[in-house]
Amino acid sequence: MKTKITLLALMLFLGFNVVNAQQDEECMTNLSIFSEYAKAKNYDAAYDTWMKVRKKCPQLNRAIYTYGEDILDDKIEKSSGAEKTAYINDLMKLWEERSQYFASKTPKGEYAAKACQLMYDNRELLKKTDEELYACFDAAYKSDPDTFTNPKSLYTYFSLMVDLYDADKKSASDLFNKYDDVVEKVEQEVGNYSESLNKLIEKEDAGTALTSKEKSYKNYYESYLKAYDQIAGSIDSKLGSRANCENLIPLYTKDFEANKGNALWLQRAAGNMSAKDCTDDPLFFKLVNAYHNLSPSANSAYYLGILKDKEGKTSEAIKFYEQAISLQSDNFKKAKLYEKIGDKLKAKGDYGSARNYFRNALKFNPSNGRPHLKIADMYNRSANNCGDTNFNKRAVFWLAADEAEKAGRVDPTLTSAAAQAAASYRAKAPQKSEIFSEGNAGQKINIGCWIGASVTVPSL
């Protein structure tokens, strides 16, 4: 009897495995079928076969979820009303299934943000309120901020906060804290992509051709940097005049006592007041000194430099600026400091010193083209003072154009602006008829004053 039971159990077990094997074989066949349809973007033909694999063998292959997203996106785009709502809900369900079966390949913050963005983009159809949508984005961000990196979603997240603030559903403190969160996140991502792009730019500058894979990566990095540059401007535009001195000073004055031991709060408050040029108010002095005493850092030293600048003590200000640079170990942030100091010196008319800081900024972040444009602008402004003849003075515009063109070559966010600036400068430089009259085509002209450089006259 015992033997019969054992044999029966064995037969049932073997039979179960045969069924599983048959199901797996069926799933593999269907996987191949729907994948080919999906690759050809024939999503309607792929749908039924894809659903069979999704239901029977959800763990079989990640293609179920990558192609499944494309299939459902197509269904959403082509449908309306209740049918569209059903497909939207199914796409969010698909992401949950992906998280269940391929957790290590499904970053929480990224996919949670995608679900929130999908709801936001269809908020009227789904009848979602701003409060519900903001809560969704906020939960996604807090669940995994490292992978909540999509530029569009970061902007949407902040935009909802502004709308809730305008509706008196969020406080000014909530608004500025979220602004700081999102801006710092954007800067972090820009720094990460810039660091990766810089390595490829340095390789190109050294005369080594990029591989096809490296070219693809370069395009990828540049596309994201463009996107982050766009949303950075959109975030500031959305915030608008809500972050002016009239609003910031009372807020930070009210919260100072409760936060004077909070280094992050002091840093953000001082940073916002500096960015909005509220540095003449005594509160800025209090913030900076409290921050520096609590946590001496590159940022606090930089703010102390601003205070010395306000007092007209330029040499002392420079010492604090240099201290800020020495305290900063991150190349991207160090480059930002060099550029900020260069901006201050440029505004004072100290072009020679400003150029040195701008060049150091480029050394630490060569994919940022702004310093090139700023150097070009200083050449442009100095043309009338840096030559002994009219022709030589106008030759400075060639230098300016060359510098502007460098900005466009290294920085994808400045391609159009750099081209326009270079064209403007070349239009002011000597033209072919003047070069012919001078008879100096191909000759080198030495430019004096602070520029201290040479430029070769174009050949005819």
Q: Smallest Cα–Cα separation from 273: which of 298, 300, 244, 294?
A: 244
The pLDDT, as a whole number, for residue 21 is: 42
Q: Residue 3 above 70 pLDDT? A: no
Do residues 434 and 391 touch, judged by C-beta distance below 8 A?
A: yes
Sign, Cα dihedral of 330, 333, 339, 344? negative
Q: Are strands 444-447 and 453-456 parallel, antiparallel or unpaired?
A: antiparallel
Q: Smallest Cα–Cα separation from 333: which of 304, 302, 354, 307?
A: 302
DSSP helix/strand/coil, 387: coil
Q: Which whole-number Å values give the CA distances from 128 to 108, 117, 124, 142, in the listed order?
A: 22, 12, 7, 21
The pLDDT, as a whole number, for residue 205 is: 87
DSSP helix/strand/coil, 392: helix
The identity of residue 263, as a single letter, is A
Q: Which whole-number Å values give the CA distances from 67 to 96, 103, 415, in the listed order?
A: 15, 17, 35
Q: Residue 365 above 80 pLDDT? A: yes
Share of the chain above pLDDT 90, in %: 91
The per-residue pLDDT for range 304-318, each reduced to its tens digit, is 999 999 899 989 999
The pLDDT, as a whole number, for residue 447 is: 92
Q: Which whole-number Å values give the CA distances from 77 to 43, 73, 86, 87, 126, in the listed order?
A: 12, 6, 12, 10, 15
Q: Phi and psi of 137, rounded to 5°? A: -65, -40
* Radius of gyration, CA atoms only, the chain: 30
The pLDDT, as a whole number, for residue 16 is: 32
Give the pLDDT band (50/70/90) at residue 84.
very high
Domain segments of the chain: what residues? Answer: 367-460
pTM for this one? 0.86
Helices (H), 61-171: 63-78, 81-101, 108-121, 123-126, 130-143, 151-166
Q: Smallest Cα–Cα separation from 187: which of 237, 140, 236, 138?
A: 236
The pLDDT, as a whole number, for residue 38 is: 97
Apex CA 272: angle with CA 277 and CA 260, to 5°? 120
Neighbours of 89 (CB within 10 A): 14
Share of the chain above pLDDT 70, in %: 95
Residue 282 falls in which region: left (phi positive, over 0), alpha (psi -120 to 50) or beta: alpha
Do residues 331 and 365 touch, judged by C-beta distance below 8 A?
A: yes
Output the six-digit token pair for 410: 């290294």
Output the six-digit token pair for 383: 């043309």
Give the pLDDT band (50/70/90) at residue 460.
confident
Section 351-361 average pLDDT: 97
Section 197-212 average pLDDT: 93
Please state which of the ranges 5-14, 50-59, 224-233 shows the lowest mean pLDDT: 5-14
Do residues 435 and 428 touch, judged by C-beta distance below 8 A?
A: no
H or E element at residue 447: strand 444-447
